[in-house]
Structure 1
């Protein structure tokens, strides 16, 4: 949900020419006012889960495209839902926050649901009178959960089986932290920022933060960020053109050796946000329509212009 268009003049709009793949429509949801942000996948049921900012709920999409509410609006005091992930135990972790225009309640949560029972099993709540935005998360193979906090510019962690949310990096250490993934060996987190740090690498053992630069271009501003065979798949919605990009890392995963566009300027794009890798396919939210509510005190700016929600996919 990163709209901090910093250093826009530094981002490239030209790219290495290559035959782009065709993104296809995977699912269409009739509910036009979802304003979705996060998407997750459960391999056990072969089902997708879609978060709604505007309706403060989570939608389940079966493999044949049928949509229904998994978590209804406001259930368990869930707020505007952003990034989500499913862990190895079949638990759905969902970042959610009170609306930005609500200056009284400043609450950020991570709700955890058992997908079999549809019941909340944990809730990690942060309410310290400061503005936070739990945006996205990454779950390690060991079961630790790292959470990006965009407004505070930092990372949080929930250790496996812990009942507490812990500060992992200091406030301001990772400006406008957003999409998050890890290197294949999980020694480093890789975090996209909306500021001059670009994409950074965070040493999980030492917490040292260093940039992941490219020799020619500024690498920054990805909403969703995912690791795939030593490449990063990034959803770029901060700069023109909106696109799905592949960032090939060098052998030590500390530099971006090459940046390619998987797809761009698709007519269906309207603030694409995040995605999920299923096999060799990347599924992503093509038209979140975020601009309909940003800066409008929680209201839809133009309800008549809302579109059906489109989930697209592209082969990696």
Structure 2
């Protein structure tokens, strides 16, 4: 009996030692410095990370061991710049927002066409094949981020005109869901089932949109307005994760999702350079540390800066504490 107890104790200590050795943060380094990435998606079944490139108009994939390859090659299927992305793991689909915003970033959208163009596109993950595109035929429009509903329907932010669009699983067609008044540049979007609401980041803060009534309100904040100008937005357990270029923060909310009760820093540092979006998979958070979407572009001359002045792209995986 004494020998068994000693063995159990040793096994416990060995497990404890090994657990302490498992890093809580892991960086994946992308050698293509001119990707200028914006969107992130993770397949919970395989652990593969998908990163969208605005400049090269392609999607790269990163396996859990760090192997990097193209999911779709540059300009494959004539895709435009890649923005928000999400994986529908149950159906093996990758949903992608694309846009050609000629007057704003003609370099990052290198097309001869001077029109604004935008789509929500869906790819078969296994076949790496474009299945369908839902193009918005409205002047000067740009889909930004998207979220997937439990039934497979899609909701997306359209940032240029302050609108929310959706693709109903039942009707399989693109339609306007809501035009926002008084709130500018809807960006990150997340559906939270226990609130039965969409949450959308805007210039002014985070909006809660009730799915049944379509009524919306800005989440209250108890002190300084920390939630302004959030880019990517994700929800985990009892807080939202929001990107604000040089930092990522956790925005805790009350039980009825009407107020931000506390804000904590999740990550920041010297490596950060326009951190845009991230994605929760299980208990890990995957995100772009340095997109260089501003610093990597010479906007005056509308060209990308010399490659030797750009940094390798860091995609970070960080364990979230329960």
Q: TM-score per shorter chain, which class?
A: 0.7 to 0.9
Task: Sort the Cα spacing of 1:112 and 1:35 in 2 relative to 1 into closer, same or farther, 3 A.
Answer: same
User: Alpha-carbon deviation of 1:186?
Assistant: 5.0
Task: Sort the Cα spacing of 1:23 and 1:53 in 2 relative to 1 into closer, same or farther, 3 A.
Answer: farther
Aligned residues of 2:231 and 2:242 also touching (Cα < 8 A):
yes
Structure 2 portions without partners, runs of 5+ = 1-22, 107-112
- Name the residue aligned to 2:178: 169
Structure 1 distance, partners of 2:102, 2:223, is 36
Q: Select the residue among 277, 284, 307 that pairs with 2:280.
A: 277
Partner-residue secondary structure (3-state), 1:233: strand
Q: Select the residue among 120, 145, 157 that pairs with 1:110.
A: 120
Q: How many residues align?
A: 287
Q: Normalising by the residue count of structure 1, what TM-score does the alignment of the two structures yield?
A: 0.86
Structure 1 portions without partners, runs of 5+ = 1-21
- Name the residue aligned to 2:188: 179
Partner-residue secondary structure (3-state), 1:63: coil
Aligned pair 1:201/2:202, yes or no? no
Q: Normalising by the residue count of structure 2, what TM-score does the alignment of the two structures yield?
A: 0.84
Aligned residues of 1:200 and 1:209 also touching (Cα < 8 A):
yes
Structure 1 distance, partners of 2:298, 2:262, is 33
Structure 1 distance, partners of 2:299, 2:129, is 33
- Name the residue aligned to 1:56: 57
Instruction: Spell out, residue by residue over 1:52-92, the C-alpha distance to the aligned partner (whole angstroms, 9 max, x if none).
Output: 00001111111111111111122222100011000131100
Task: Sort the Cα spacing of 1:205 and 1:211 in 2 relative to 1 into closer, same or farther, 3 A.
Answer: same
User: Alpha-carbon deviation of 1:142?
Assistant: 1.5
Partner-residue secondary structure (3-state), 1:205: coil
Aligned pair 1:228/2:236, yes or no? yes
User: Alpha-carbon deviation of 1:174?
Assistant: 4.1
Using CA pairs under 8 Å that are at least 6 residues apart, name the structure with larger relative contact order, 1 or 2.
1
Q: Select the residue among 245, 261, 265 that pairs with 1:261.
A: 265
Structure 1 runs of 4+ with >6 Å offset: none
